[in-house]
Structure 1
């Protein structure tokens, strides 16, 4: 089939776009507002965008608490969500008031970070401490706002649970990181294979 993506006239019961662009890693973003409120929320529009320096981004549909907190205080943490934490991650996606602490809501432990004044998820297999760089308002072909805002941060510290290190490498298969598909579907990294790059 083919359909016009601007008109979005696919005639299917649900929009297939996010099912096609996947699996997408989940950025489980913790942040703190200038009033001291703590927020934890998952974002499936998340990824690494540079390796030297380490840069990450996530995109927020609407100016949500995570975005506001990060702009106010200049820091955040990307906690990596695993299969074992799937229910806790899902619980933190609930639309609750700003003053609600999602760590407490989901029964998670707040652990101190080293390079940023933002708590991380102690139970997470890995976490990326980040300093805020910029917010990019996204626009569409007409020039109008897409009502999405992309946040870019530089990674300033990395935590890895030693249980997921094997022979000096991250054991992605054992870590079972969660990824988002379309609809209400998720996946895990549970099969890993290697390909060597072609040599000139």
Structure 2
């Protein structure tokens, strides 16, 4: 099968998200004039080591947020955000925070996520996340299409849960990261192996 996206795929469901998978989930927390917010984004990744930088993309809008969603609106307002890593054990809490609530609703309260304060920025974080990355906004890029925004940030502080550190390494097997596949499908990282690059 081949299709051009502008012509449509002709399938019951869009395959694009299932093709680009698995994807890590950035559980983005923000604070703004209307309060605290927490929402998961599966268009998320790290993009640079020095200085450490991350990105996430928001691809839809709410009527009460001027062409975007709460996360992007509050990042525009404050210039900061926090990325929280999602453990498999937090899947239901993460999912509960994904609802399209009106602006001003605190998804920490709705979902039962544990709220803690960041150190380098005025922002909440998920207190029991395996890791949280405090970020300073570097830019928001408007992408083609309605309500498509790429948010880039520099990491200014890193929280790691002590039980996720083994022999000086951040060990994903201790918390089994949750990842997004296509449609309503998710996966848990459980089978970890090591490969050496040629010449190492």
Regarding TM over 0.5, the answer is yes
Q: CA RMSD in A?
A: 1.2
How far apart are 1:134 and its partner, in Å? 0.7
**Runs of 4+ in structure 1 over 6 Å off:** none
Instruction: Report the 3-state secondary structure (helix = DSSP H, G, I; strand = E; otherwise coil) of the residue aligned with 2:84.
Output: strand
- In 2, the alpha carbon distance for the partners of 1:196 and 1:109 equals 38
* TM-aligned CA deviation for residue 146 of structure 1: 4.4
The correspondence of residues 34-113 of structure 1 with structure 2, limited to 5 A, is 35-61=33-59, 62=61, 63-113=68-118
1:161 aligned partner: 161
The residue number in structure 2 matching 1:174 is 174
Q: TM-score, normalised by structure 2?
A: 0.93
Mapped partners of 1:28, 1:58: distance in 2 = 10
Distance 1:108 1:192 in 2: 27
TM-score normalised to structure 1 length: 0.93
Aligned equivalents of 1:36 and 1:11: distance in 2?
A: 41
The aligned counterpart of 2:65 is: none
* Structure 1 unaligned regions, length at least 5: 140-144
Alignment gaps of 5+ in structure 2? 62-67
CA contact (8 A) 1:174 1:190 kept: no
Aligned length: 193
Give the distance between the partners of 1:37 and 1:146, measured in 2 at CA.
26
Name the CA distance, whole Å, in 2 between partners of 1:69 and 1:38. Answer: 9
